[in-house]
Amino acid sequence: MNLQLKPKAIRAAATRLRFRTRAFIDGQFVSAQSGRTFTTENPANGRPLAQIAACEAPDVDRAVKAARRAFESGSWSRRKPAERKRILLAFADQLEAHAGELALLDTLEAGKPIADCATMDIPDTIACIRWHAEAADKLYDHVSPTGPENLALIVREPVGVVGCVIPWNFPAQMAAWKLGPALATGNSVVLKPAELTSLSAIRMAELAAEAGVPPGVLNVVPGLGETAGQAVGRHPDVDMVAFTGSTEVGRSFLKYAAESNLKRIILECGGKSPQVVFADAPDLDTVAGHAVGAAFWNMGENCSCGSRLIVHQKIKDKLVAKVVALAKTWKVGDPLDPQTRLGALIERPHLEKVLGYIESGKAEGARLLLGGRRILEESGGYYVEPTVFDRVGGRMRIAREEIFGPVLSVMSFSTDEEAVALANDTNYGLAASIYTGDVNRAHRVARAIRAGTVSVNCFSEGDLTTPFGGFKQSGFAGRDKSIWAHEQYTELKTVWMQLT
Ligand code: NAD
């Protein structure tokens, strides 16, 4: 289904949607063995959307067994890379043919603006699968420079059964960041979506099967983190887990691996990203545009959210006035309205957490310049105004903790050293932006900032050709996207031959 971004067409398409609510294991939809379900709701109005199969350890075990069987059979793992490419490209075509439906599923379940889902999330999801598919038959292995009496091949093989555990903020896209490289390199996958957003992942697995991905190669086990997620993490026959989510839960996966089979763990976790604006930044209107986008895009429910605006004192008041004026123009409201820039926060507990941070900012002495309130309460949805705090101190909670909401903290500096120290004064290291007209300063500061992606004169997460992941407690041992993601889903093998 393709979607016209017009209010009437969107509403009509939303009412026609049919939800897939069961697990997808071994090429089939199945209920949880316990028969239990959990409710997923629409954060735009707080009403239930669907009952989803609540998978637990026995369901995860069934999915892992199917994945292992598929892996051992070679139906995918030993298929010619060019054939895997062809099938994954067909999968991408299927996603494209159902792009409108997938955009609506993510909007309904996650409260994300439909305009974002239709023009960014789902196109990026499709592009991601295509990019990794295309790479499948373009990567060469190595011959080692040994002496004439030996031949040593250094080859990459799929890791085996890969568990993917993902968050709710970009449901389809986070699935694609894992599935693209994991499937392109020949692994079998057991995907555990976030319990708040299962629908697009289940549908993606069905579309993959229709495109020719063999049974057992892509399984989806919806369920709660404590049960289904933990079962994936502790399963003795899962070879690797690729996780995206909070640092706290990421840490648990390291424990699960240590206490089970030492499975490989790749973590993509939280952030508290700085946006550093120097006094020589070329155009403050442009900077304000990027700063507002970085802070409020996806309601601030974004791992690389530029939640700390660190500005040279000389230009701070001027820039902050522009940021506030622009943020006021961001329409908050119904995620199905194509004009909406800020939709609903994901759920009531998260809304309360974000409002709690706003209260802590006030109590700790920051100056509230904009927003700060829950709005549209009568809708039953979880909406918060774009919020800007000035005079934020480095020890305040709003300066240190990941809020994951539309809350921007402004701080100021007077020297480059101070700016770098403030930017790095965090346990996280996912992303950063620098704004300056001086190319030397840009390079110097980009080197000094401890983060996986540093953007200069923009807010960006790069594109599919660039790795994405974090330093410090923003990540562990891996990267999403790019050719580096392929490597992490493979084992390195040496084949050493004695020549006679
Ligand atoms: P979360 O850590 O609460 O949940 C992530 C996943 O882990 C979900 O599928 C959840 O069900 C599962 N889970 C929860 N508790 C578990 C447990 N005890 N054992 C096993 N699995 C468990 O994160 P979230 O709230 O879904 O997502 C928000 C977080 O994700 C933020 O911290 C954000 O920064 C991060 N994130 C990071 C990136 C990145 O690329 N670095 C991208 C998107 C989101």
Output b/e per residue, 106-115; b: 16+ Cβ within 10 A. bbbbbbbbbb
Does 229 sit in the ligand 1 pocket, CB within 6 Å? yes
Residue closest by Cα to atom 30 of ligand 1:
245
Ligand 1 atom index nearest CA of 268? 41
How much is the pLDDT for 362? 98
Residue 465 has a pLDDT of 97
Q: Is the CB of 482 under 6 A from ligand 1?
A: no
Q: What are the extents of the domains in the chain?
A: 7-269+474-494, 274-464
CA of 212 to the centre of ligand 1 (A): 30
Task: Specify whether the CB–CB gap between 276 and 419 falls below 8 A.
Answer: yes
**Atom 22 of ligand 1 has which residue's CA nearest to it?**
225
**Encoding tokens for residue 412?**
């100021």
* Superfamily the domain 7-269+474-494 falls into: Aldehyde Dehydrogenase; Chain A, domain 1 (3.40.605.10)
H/E run at residue 496 = strand 490-498
Paired residues of 340 in beta bridges: none
Task: For ligand 1, atom 26, name the residue with the nearest CA.
Answer: 167
Q: Report the distance separating Cα 202 and Cα 192, nearest Å.
A: 10
Tokens at residue 118, please? Answer: 């239709």
- Which residues are part of the catalytic machinery? 268, 303
Per-residue pLDDT of the chain (500 residues; tens, 9 = 90+): 778 999 999 999 999 999 999 999 999 999 999 999 999 999 999 999 999 999 999 999 999 999 999 999 999 999 999 999 999 999 999 999 999 999 999 999 999 999 999 999 999 999 999 999 999 999 999 999 999 999 999 999 999 999 999 999 999 999 999 999 999 999 999 999 999 999 999 999 999 999 999 999 999 999 999 999 999 999 999 999 999 999 999 999 999 999 999 999 999 999 999 999 999 999 999 999 999 999 999 999 999 999 999 999 999 999 999 999 999 999 999 999 999 999 999 999 999 999 999 999 999 999 999 999 999 999 999 999 999 999 999 999 999 999 999 999 999 999 999 999 999 999 999 999 999 999 999 999 999 999 999 999 999 999 999 999 999 999 999 999 999 999 999 999 999 999 99
C-beta atoms surrounding 453 within 10 Å: 23
Single out the residue of 216, 242, 229, 219 nearest to residue 23, CA to CA: 219
Contacts of 307 (CB under 8 A, 6+ apart): 272, 273, 295, 300, 402, 403, 407, 408, 409
Q: Best mutation site among 246, 248, 473 for ligand 1, i.e. most ligand atoms within 8 A of its Cβ?
A: 246
CB 498 within 8 A of CB 149: yes
Which of left, alpha, beta for 258 (phi over 0: left; psi -120 to 50: alpha)? Answer: alpha
Task: Using CB atoms within 10 Å of the CB of residue 162, give its burial: 0 to 12 exposed, 13 to 18 middle, 19+ buried.
Answer: buried
| CB 252 less than 6 A from any atom of ligand 1 | yes
Tell me which of 55, 128, 169, 353 to substitute to probe ligand 1's pocket, judged by most ligand atoms within 8 Å of the beta carbon.
Answer: 169
218, HSE (Cβ side, Cα atoms, 13 Å): 28
Q: Which atom of ligand 1 is nearest to the CA of 305?
A: 34
Helix axes 99-110, 122-135, angle to 10 degrees: 120
Q: How far is the CA of 249 from the centre of ligand 1 (A)?
A: 6
Q: What is the pLDDT, as a whole number, of residue 252?
A: 98
Ligand 1 centre from 476 Cα, in Å? 14
Interatomic CA distance for residues 42 and 196, integer angstroms: 9
Give the Å distance between the CA of 344 and the centre of ligand 1: 18
The CATH code that applies to domain 274-464 is 3.40.309.10
Question: What SS3 class is residue 178?
Answer: helix
Q: What is the pLDDT of residue 27?
A: 98
Own/partner long-range contacts of 436-444 (Cβ < 8 Å, ≥24 apart): 436/278, 436/280, 436/281, 437/278, 437/280, 437/281, 437/282, 438/278, 438/280, 441/278, 441/280, 441/416, 444/416
The pLDDT value recorded for residue 2 is 79
The CA 302 to ligand 1 mean position distance, Å, reads: 11
Q: Which long-range contacts (CB under 8 A, 24 or more apart) does 347-356 make?
A: 347/41, 347/43, 347/196, 347/382, 348/46, 348/382, 350/382, 350/404, 350/405, 351/382, 351/384, 353/403, 353/404, 353/405, 354/384, 354/403, 354/404, 354/405, 354/406, 354/407, 355/384
b/e sequence 116-131, b meaning 16+ C-beta within 10 Å: bbbebbbbbbbbbbbb
Residue 264's pLDDT is 98
204 token code pair = 């993606």
DSSP 300: G
Quick check: do 7-269+474-494 and 274-464 share a fold? Answer: no
Residue 408 phi, psi dihedral angles, 5° rounding: -110, 130
How far apart are alpha carbons 293 and 229 in whole angstroms?
Answer: 32
Q: What is each CA distance from 401 to 153, 360, 398, 422, in whole angstroms? A: 47, 11, 6, 14
Give, using CA atoms, the residue closest to atom 10 of ligand 1: 225
Helices (H) and strands (E) in the chain, counts: 17, 24
> Cα(250) to centroid of ligand 1, in Å?
7
Structure tokens that stand for 274 in this block = 């700085």
Distance 460 CA to ligand 1 centre (A): 21
Q: Which alpha helices (H) appear in 346-465, and where do they start and end? A: 348-363, 397-400, 416-424, 439-448
Look up residue 85 and give its two tokens.
Answer: 């490419």
Name every residue whose Cβ is closer than 8 Å to that of residue 188 and which is 6 or more positions away in sequence: 67, 68, 70, 71, 76, 77, 160, 161, 162, 216, 217, 218, 219
Q: Is 194 in the pocket of ligand 1 (CB under 6 A)?
A: yes
- Supply angle C-alpha 207, 478, 146, rounded to 5: 110
Task: Give the residue carrying structure tokens 């020589």.
Answer: 280
Asked whether 223 lines ligand 1 (CB < 6 A), one says: no
For residues 177 and 480, the answer to whether their CB atoms sit within 8 Å is yes
Closest residue CA from atom 14 of ligand 1:
225
